């Protein structure tokens, strides 16, 4: 009995559908997220005209929601390129519908996170002051400072992530070129680089993607390690720790996987891609999320255990403020959101469904944002060797900017799905299992059009 496979036209129709006919849900998403971004732009303009005094920062709390958002979004960026690269390198076949969803998250999260050092300047038109280069102003860069390393690491990661996202797009851009007309056809033609699908082109593309997958992994790990050194290379209480590097990387991967699951669930529902983003993908990502939840808890426990065991007065002041003081609700909320609920929920196979992984992912994203806040503000509010302790309360400007980052991310993602297929068409077809005569066939595509193999 011959195997059967979905026709190319059916797969193309399903995966290019969001590009050709986005639907009402897409337009509603763009409108709502666009309004949130406009509100954030208004708050940003208000800040530029009135100065940083409109924020709640004060002496000694000079970093607050701005740096919280910076660390959070740089962490979210590890969802894509790092997860996608690891799955490619290890040859995980189930990754194929997932990779582009993940790679897009990396680029957009990095774009958002990299904005906050510029916004934090107060006068962003002098953003070039952040660039560590010798200049006529006599401001020679201090290459011993992790702030200088941040510039090179984040920009290298962003450039590498764009290349890593673009390379697998080329065959699909050629497919869109052949199916478009007018200006779009010319644009897709330019960016598809004359792709014709020859054997030589396929060999070079696959070699380039493999090389980038290997290169981007150490770059991704270095980025959040260097971000952690912004804190660890000070003598602030509960920052001066040798475990901050792996602790930040583990937290970044943890929050990134959660963001990827949420993005996939929304895409699956809005664009009716149930046949392509199947329960097995959410189950596998749920297992990864469970693993990272355990690793995150281990590092968190180790950080607080060493502070408690050392019993140094400056450390203990911050420790008590988090565990039983003013920041205790956020701290225990973080433990509940990142471990107490997700770990048992994902450990039980019966609950590791699409809905179960979504619930766990929402909690993890919220909990990891709280965790980034708890790393920064309590330590700054209670500095070592001084009685000049302070407090912090965010203003409407900071809260609006924070909401704007999420709106901006959703807006960028929605625009991306309107221009490019969010599931790589060629990768999906390449991964179809072979039938008895060597032709691709597929399992799990309900109600699709078939042709005899």
User: Which pLDDT does position 447 carry in this prediction?
Assistant: 36
Does residue 452 fall inside a structural domain?
A: no
Nearest alpha-carbon partner for 318 in 60, 36, 31: 60
Give residue 35's pLDDT: 95
Residue 277, domain member (yes or no): yes
d(Cα 71, Cα 76) in Å, to the nearest integer?
A: 9
Q: Determine the pLDDT at residue 152.
A: 85
pLDDT value of residue 441: 41
The CATH number assigned to the domain holding 320 equals 1.20.1630.10
The verdict on residue 449 lying in a domain is no
What is the C-alpha separation between 180 and 184, in angstroms, rounded?
6
Residue found under tokens 């949130």: 36
pLDDT along the chain (453 residues), means of 10: 55 75 82 94 90 84 87 85 79 82 90 87 78 66 77 88 90 86 85 86 89 88 86 84 86 90 89 85 91 93 89 87 90 93 91 92 94 90 69 88 93 90 82 49 36 33
Looking at residue 140, what is its pLDDT? 66
Task: Give the C-alpha separation, 117 to 323, whole Å.
Answer: 30
| Model pLDDT, residue 16 | 79
pLDDT computed for residue 388 by the predictor: 65
Q: How many domains does the chain have?
A: 1
Residue 451 lies in a domain: no
**What is the model's pTM?**
0.86
Residue 174 lies in a domain: yes
pLDDT at residue 28, as a whole number: 87
DSSP state letters, 388-408: --------HHHHHHHHHHHHH
CA distance 96 to 100: 8
* Pairing mode, strands 4-6 and 450-452: antiparallel
Local structure of residue 97 (DSSP, 8 states): T
Say if 11 falls within a structural domain: yes
As a whole number of angstroms, the distance between CA 340 and CA 330 comes to 14
Enumerate residues 6+ apart whose C-beta is below 8 A from 389: 60, 381, 382, 383
Residue 232's domain spans which residues? 4-131+140-444
- Please report whether residue 265 resides in a domain: yes
- Enumerate the H helices of 21-145 as residue ranges: 24-50, 65-76, 81-89, 99-113, 115-120
């Amino acid at each position: 009995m011959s195997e059967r496979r979905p026709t190319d036209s059916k797969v193309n129709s399903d995966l290019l559908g969001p590009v050709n006919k986005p639907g009402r849900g897409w337009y509603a998403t763009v409108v709502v997220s666009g309004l949130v971004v406009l509100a954030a732009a208004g708050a940003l303009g208000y800040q530029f005209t009135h100065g940083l005094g409109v924020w709640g920062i004060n002496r000694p709390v000079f970093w607050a929601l701005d740096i919280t958002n910076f660390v959070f979004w740089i962490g979210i960026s590890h969802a894509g390129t790092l997860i996608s690269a690891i799955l490619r390198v290890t040859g995980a076949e189930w990754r194929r519908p997932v990779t582009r969803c993940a790679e897009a998250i990396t680029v957009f999260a990095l774009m958002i996170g990299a904005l906050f050092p510029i916004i934090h300047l107060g006068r962003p038109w002098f953003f070039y002051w952040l660039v560590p280069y010798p200049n006529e102003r006599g401001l020679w860069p201090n290459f011993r400072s992790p702030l200088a390393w941040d510039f090179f690491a984040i920009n290298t990661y962003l450039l590498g992530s764009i290349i890593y996202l673009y390379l697998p797009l080329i065959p699909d851009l050629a497919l869109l070129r052949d199916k478009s007309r007018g200006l779009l056809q010319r644009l897709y033609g330019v960016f598809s680089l004359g792709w014709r699908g020859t054997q030589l082109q396929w060999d070079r593309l696959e070699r380039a993607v493999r090389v980038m997958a290997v290169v981007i992994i150490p770059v991704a790990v270095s980025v959040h390690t260097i971000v952690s050194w912004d804190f660890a290379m000070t003598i602030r209480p509960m920052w001066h720790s040798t475990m901050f590097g792996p602790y930040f990387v583990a937290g970044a991967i943890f929050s990134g996987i959660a963001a990827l699951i949420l993005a996939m669930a929304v895409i699956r529902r809005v664009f009716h891609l149930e046949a392509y983003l199947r329960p097995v993908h959410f189950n596998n990502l749920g297992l990864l999320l469970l693993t990272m939840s355990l690793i995150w808890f281990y590092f968190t426990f180790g950080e607080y255990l060493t502070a408690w065991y050392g019993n140094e007065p400056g450390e203990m002041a911050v420790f008590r403020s988090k565990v039983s003081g003013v920041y205790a609700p956020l701290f225990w909320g973080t433990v509940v959101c990142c471990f107490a609920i997700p770990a048992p929920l994902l450990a039980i196979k019966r609950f590791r469904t699409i809905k179960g992984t979504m619930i766990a992912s929402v909690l993890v994203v919220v909990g990891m944002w709280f965790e980034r806040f708890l790393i920064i503000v309590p330590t700054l509010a209670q500095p070592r060797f001084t009685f000049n302790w302070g407090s912090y309360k965010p203003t409407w400007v900071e809260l609006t900017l924070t909401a704007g980052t999420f709106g901006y991310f959703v807006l960028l993602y929605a625009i991306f799905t309107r221009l490019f297929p969010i599931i790589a068409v060629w990768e999906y077809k390449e991964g179809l299992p072979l039938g008895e005569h060597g032709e691709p066939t597929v399992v799990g595509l309900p109600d699709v059009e078939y042709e005899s193999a």
